[in-house]
Structure 1
Amino acid sequence: MPYSRHTVLGIMSGSSLDGIDLAVCTFALDPAAADTIGEWTVDAANTVPYPDEWRERLAASTLLAAEPLYRLDAELGRWVGNEAASFVGRLVGPAPVLAGYHGHTVFHEPAAGYTLQLGEGAALSRALGLPVVTDLRSADIAAGGQGAPLAPVADHHLFRQYDGFLNLGGIVNFSIRRPDRTFLAGDLSGCCQIMDRLARLRGQAYDRDGRLARSGNPVTDLRRSIAALPFHQQPYPKSLSNQWVVNELWPVIRDHPATVEDKLRTFVDFIVETIYDALYPHRPAGAAASPLPVLVTGGGAHNRFLLESLQAFHREDQAFDFQAPDGIVDFKEAALVALCALLRYHGLPNSLASATGAVSDTVNGALYAG
């Protein structure tokens, strides 16, 4: 069966509350082929920042009672659908025939068997005028998985030239392609959520290029307190909720008497070593082995000090080459959502058990026909 071409819109709403990323992607698909996805392209992409009102409402969503939470769910679906329709209406190239939407995560408790992402699919589909796939984690959780990370689906299908992957978003997560082509993956800790909160204490939306962190000094006892949080000791696979970042990690950092600059430097140092600890057992073997290329994406990939610190950190060897290529850094997750929607539409697995800990690969997503 020859590959068929499908143009899909992916919409990603991240935990850092900066806005929604939209990417129109065209995929060559053949379910019977060894490589289910052949050539693919990002045809158009854009980021729509959240207005202050939406950022505040979403930040407070975990505190809402049932009725206002459901109202917010529907209203967010309509808002995202209208923004996506405006974006699609300006396209010059191929128009999408399907959309996927990750939604804004409010609750994520896989151990208790549930996850919730806001942005009602029927409202979004009606506003956009396309079939829409939402709820991309629940089937994996029902199969005993973490419902996260989803990124290895894109790593498997779209980025075969890499074996290491790192996402520096609101939460930092990684994945490694094993020799048998399965994945080890998991969330590591908070990331941009924490750095942005600290930068706002200095009147900045975020720490541009890591300048504040670069000017700080590491604080040993703060570093130990961060590392001692129980989540950081758990084995993989594991995943984080935004509530853990806000309720467990942030108070440890917020309440320490160090300066903002020193807190940022300490946190960057912690993140860098945590990443290295996760990746290092999977480094290339042999003294003459070349460093393993690691694809770095997410908002934190724009933090120059963080990237420089990753490149500079090593033990007895320089085991990794962290790469943040233009065109992929900001829209990998939106492309992932587009891919997950396409796979769901064709009844193909879009979550990998080797990465999430589920009993099997699963087909995730609710389809709203539009």
Structure 2
Amino acid sequence: MIKPEYNILALMSGTSLDGIDIIYVSFSYDSQWEFKIHKAETVKYPKQWQSILSQLVKMPMHQLKQVDLEYSEYLATVILDFINKNTIKIIDFIASHGHTALHQPENGLTYQIGNQQILSDKLKHKVICDFRVQDVNFGGQGAPLVPIGDRLLFSNYDYCLNLGGFANISFESNDERIAFDICPVNIVLNHYVSKINLEYDNKGQLASTGKVNHDLLDQLNKLQFYKDQPPKSLGLEWVELNIFPLIDSYKLQIKEVLRTYLEHIAIQISEILSQENSKVLVTGGGVFNEFLMQRIQHFSNSEVIIPDNEIVEFKEALIFGLLGVLKARNEINCLKSVTGAERNHSSGKILIPKINY
């Protein structure tokens, strides 16, 4: 049913495994989309779930399906806690991205766990989820999906750049929205600081003490992915195949790895920000890496704009909420110009709670 306003819960779990972003948000439409975030929280993963989620790509399918069920149940408990803690009464539906287990669009495969019927049954609410599968079935990359939200909610910026597990960007070009993954970010940086028992490099302080290994930097910048034209997207599998073995072959100190890889990120991003005097909205956890932000600004002529923390931290959850709203209205939420699918479409799966008589 088409409504002028929707009150929904939206949640997102990214590849950096820092936790589940969950928001309670209202969307309204009157010639353009507006939103208001009422409550927002990142629920940190317990060590057990962090460990499980970091191993998903190595699991056989029968084990992955079992984890999918368990993770769906876990998400339900997280959502119920959030609802109860914030005494939320009005919910039209819940929009959930789930957590990406496998992403191999070139093989016609993408698998997000946490989108099982049990999620809707336990919550006793409609759930709109699993936004990537249909796009891959239509020959698309199934990613990135955020650009439709960039177009509808943040059109006053020339570029929308997100720095999470991966850097991705979206912008208008010849009246089409173009978007793609640029390079891995926190998925690599956090991997290396974990070797010295840190969750992340606070403000990039450790990286700033290292020296750039120019030979490694050159090899990173020569990787084939950076020569490929969009649409294109990245997953953990690609990182494990191309990034980790290359870096590890140099046997560098952690601070040298961080410094070199951070320089690589800044260079790859700046090459995309080609429009002179453009405004770039930057969001995602990478924003808090002050040294990384300095290096991006160093290589770029664009005005780098960091919004309020609420948008920095919860923009992806916000936009997956909007994807849910568009699906509920049977409106386009997936752009072929972004993913390479055969057509624009309204993607997602709708779960209705089963009634026990």
The answer to whether the superposition gives a TM-score over 0.5 is: yes
- Checking the alignment, whether the CA contact within 8 Å between 1:296 and 1:329 is kept in structure 2 is yes
The amino acid that maps onto 1:130 is H
Give distance in 2, aligned partners of 1:241 and 1:4: 37
Change (3 A) 1:169 1:105: same
TM-fit CA distance, 1:216: 0.8
TM-fit CA distance, 1:260: 1.0
Is residue 342 from structure 1 mapped to residue 325 from structure 2 by the alignment?
yes
TM-fit CA distance, 1:188: 1.2
TM-score, L = length of structure 1 = 0.91
Instruction: Report SS of the residue matched to 2:313.
Output: coil
Q: Quote the RMSD (CA, aligned, Å).
A: 1.7
TM-fit CA distance, 1:57: 1.0
TM-fit CA distance, 1:151: 1.3
Change (3 A) 1:246 1:324: farther
Give distance in 2, aligned partners of 1:82 and 1:90: 12
Aligned equivalent of 1:123, options 106, 118, 123: 118
Change (3 A) 1:66 1:326: closer
- Checking the alignment, whether the CA contact within 8 Å between 1:174 and 1:187 is kept in structure 2 is yes
TM-fit CA distance, 1:178: 2.6
Partner of 1:13: 13
Aligned equivalent of 1:43, options 38, 46, 50: 38
Instruction: Report SS of the residue matched to 1:256.
Output: coil
Aligned equivalent of 2:280, options 264, 281, 294: 294
TM-fit CA distance, 1:258: 2.0
How high is the sequence identity, in percent, across the aligned residues?
33
**CA deviation map 1:109-130 (0-9, x unaligned):** 1121121001133111122221
Aligned equivalent of 1:164, options 159, 167, 176: 159
**161-170 or 252-261, larger mean C-alpha shift:** 252-261
TM-score, L = length of structure 2 = 0.94
TM-fit CA distance, 1:321: 2.6
Structure 1 gap segments, 5+ residues each: 285-290
**CA deviation map 1:203-261 (0-9, x unaligned):** 21100000011111111111112122221221111011111112221221123122111
Structure 2 gap segments, 5+ residues each: none
The amino acid that maps onto 2:131 is L
- Checking the alignment, whether the CA contact within 8 Å between 2:287 and 2:306 is kept in structure 1 is no
For residues 1-370 of structure 1, what are the structure 2 equivalents within 5 Å? 4-29=4-29, 33=31, 35=32, 37=33, 39-92=34-87, 95-178=90-173, 180=175, 182-280=176-274, 283-284=275-276, 291-314=277-300, 318-370=301-353
The amino acid that maps onto 1:161 is N
Give distance in 1, aligned partners of 2:324 and 2:38: 17
Give distance in 1, aligned partners of 2:53 and 2:232: 24
Stretches (4+) displaced over 4 A: none
- Checking the alignment, whether the CA contact within 8 Å between 1:110 and 1:146 is kept in structure 2 is yes
TM-fit CA distance, 1:262: 1.2
Q: How many pairs align?
A: 352
TM-fit CA distance, 1:3: 6.5
TM-fit CA distance, 1:367: 0.5
The amino acid that maps onto 1:209 is K
Give distance in 2, aligned partners of 1:94 and 1:299: 30
Give distance in 2, aligned partners of 1:351 and 1:217: 42
